[in-house]
Structure 1
């Protein structure tokens, strides 16, 4: 099991913000454990640095720097400690700000964030896979960059199917930690947020996931179990991690 998750409420002692995240490791536990253990601290530090600037761009910039710093610090740590070396981690995080009125969602890899808005699923992240044309173009534009179709799966250097994440030192500069980020205002119609690794999304559609979570009527652990069970019943043999965040204080429909 190489997945990890984070639910850091009152981030940096501020009760008006929280950080949620799912991390999907591959090739070892070093990167995924480092990311889960350190991302909240680094995000808090970068938010503190950007506090004077304010605005959405500043917050999104802080989260971007946090991803890049996490990658850099893991690289430094792993180079000194062979037991922590190796592997990589896909990441999806949601920074809930302003007392729950704003979401800053970021992703690097193929973990995914899906919002329920008025009962309708809205994907907030796009998977970074080698099958994505713009990612293939980015990699092949770099010196030595190569994306190969291996038995129907596009892979960076014929090795890794994802193109972004923490770690994967042997595939740099092609696999990067640069996240894609968007900010969403949380209105009264925004009911819940689902963060999950690809072990769920490879078997369960976004709208299916939203419907199943809403059917749990506010019982969030039950919603997570229901989603995991759905993926397993459909043959998922991958690691599966699910976080469901209720965005309104009232019970879900």
Structure 2
């Protein structure tokens, strides 16, 4: 979702041993390189990765209200206050991260600046979180995805601490995190929104949540099992919810949209459509048994062109039965397959080797 293409820049990575962001290392980084932000409070056991690849950013009705103006994709970097002056920033082509237990690959689409983001937090000795991963697919600019990448994991962590000891505390804590991030972002007064999919690993369990059409698929002995549902306005329960709130869903050029505008019905942000677009996540929790091999989290740039089973079949030879799984290569192969099939959108993929998180 974006504009013209510039020359690709080389990704910059911290080594797996780096516990915190180094200002010295940052000073050596080219200004055109994508930013990798690590919070200083993390220990050597907790490595947190953020990647910011660019700051650019139907049913029949009797009487339909006019379409809402949610704004075009922002192509310049702006402060959170939309009224402030903006300055164009460099764009990145691809992002690649390869760590023990997971890999990330983000490929910019052909529509303009990258609007996808991701985050990853690994803490093998964490009290409530051994791993927390997220893929964010922004629309109407990258600001919502950027904000969620920087704040959703923190809010989920605080939500878990708040709900610990209650029945269903993981699901409740994740819900608090999503809704709090949405509330905080809306206060910024910035347009745009983001779909989200997250995976929380805690005490031999994995809780997968989503709001929007980013998807999570797990391999169970080689069989693809979707763990999330895509939140589109045409889905029956979403359609009923939107109409009950006074909205309408219309088909525009073959795509069903809320108020003739937005093609997803859940997500963070989208303040002009907030009456109908909820950040309420759906969560599914599984015990990590030996048959659960790996988890794929990805934006719709992958799933629009690659089926769940095709994705699992392509990843499995790179991951299962190998002492050193090549999950980054698997991520790249998936992105290449989607692009070869005509995907113009950004493609972001995280593959998590689940057995690496089981003692």
TM-score under structure 2 length normalisation: 0.65
1:69 alignment partner, SS class: helix
Matched with 1:30 is 143
In 2, Cα distance between the equivalents of 1:206 and 1:13? 31
Say if 2:259 is the partner of 1:157.
yes
Partner of 1:103: 206
Matches within 5 A, 1:42-53: 42-53=155-166
Deviation (angstroms), 1:226:
0.7
How far, CA to CA, are the matches of 2:153 and 2:124 in structure 1? Answer: 7
After TM superposition, what 4+ stretches of structure 1 lie above 3 angstroms from structure 2?
Answer: 11-16
Distance 1:59 1:130 in 2: 27
Higher relative helix content: 1
Q: 2:165, 2:236 → 1: CA distance?
A: 38
- For 1:48 and 1:141, the matched residues in 2 are separated by 34
The answer to whether the 8 Å contact 2:129/2:200 transfers is no
Unaligned runs of 5+ residues in structure 2 are 1-113, 320-324
3-state secondary structure, aligned to 1:134: helix
**What do the CA deviations read for 1:111-139 (whole angstroms, capped 9, x no partner)?**
00000001100000000011212111110
Q: Which residue of 1 is the match for residue 297 of structure 2?
A: 195
Structure 1 residues 65-84: aligned runs within 5 Å: 65-76=176-187, 78-79=188-189
Over residues 140-195 of structure 1, what are the superposed CA-to-partner deviations in whole Å (9 max), with x where a residue is unaligned? 1113x111111221100000000000000000110110011111111000000000
Shift of 1:88: 0.3
Contact preservation (8 Å) 2:211, 2:279: yes
Aligned-residue offset at 1:14: 4.0
2:169 is equivalent to residue 58 of structure 1: yes
Which residue pairs with 1:173 in the alignment? 275
Which residue of the partner structure matches residue 82 of structure 1? none
3-state SS of 2:161 partner: helix
Question: What CA RMSD, in Å, does the superposition of the two structures yield over aligned residues?
Answer: 1.6
Query: Is 1:245 aligned with 2:352?
Result: yes
Distance in 2 (CA, whole Å) between partners of 1:154 and 1:234 is 22
- 1:5 matched to 2:118: yes
Are 2:333 and 1:226 aligned? yes
Structure number with larger C-alpha Rg:
2
Give the C-alpha shift of residue 222 in structure 1.
0.5
Tell me the SS of whatever aligns to 2:286.
strand
SS at match of 1:175: coil
Write the distance in 1 (CA, Å) between the matches of 2:120 and 2:240: 35
| TM score, norm. by length of structure 1 | 0.91
Pairwise CA distance, 1:59: 1.2
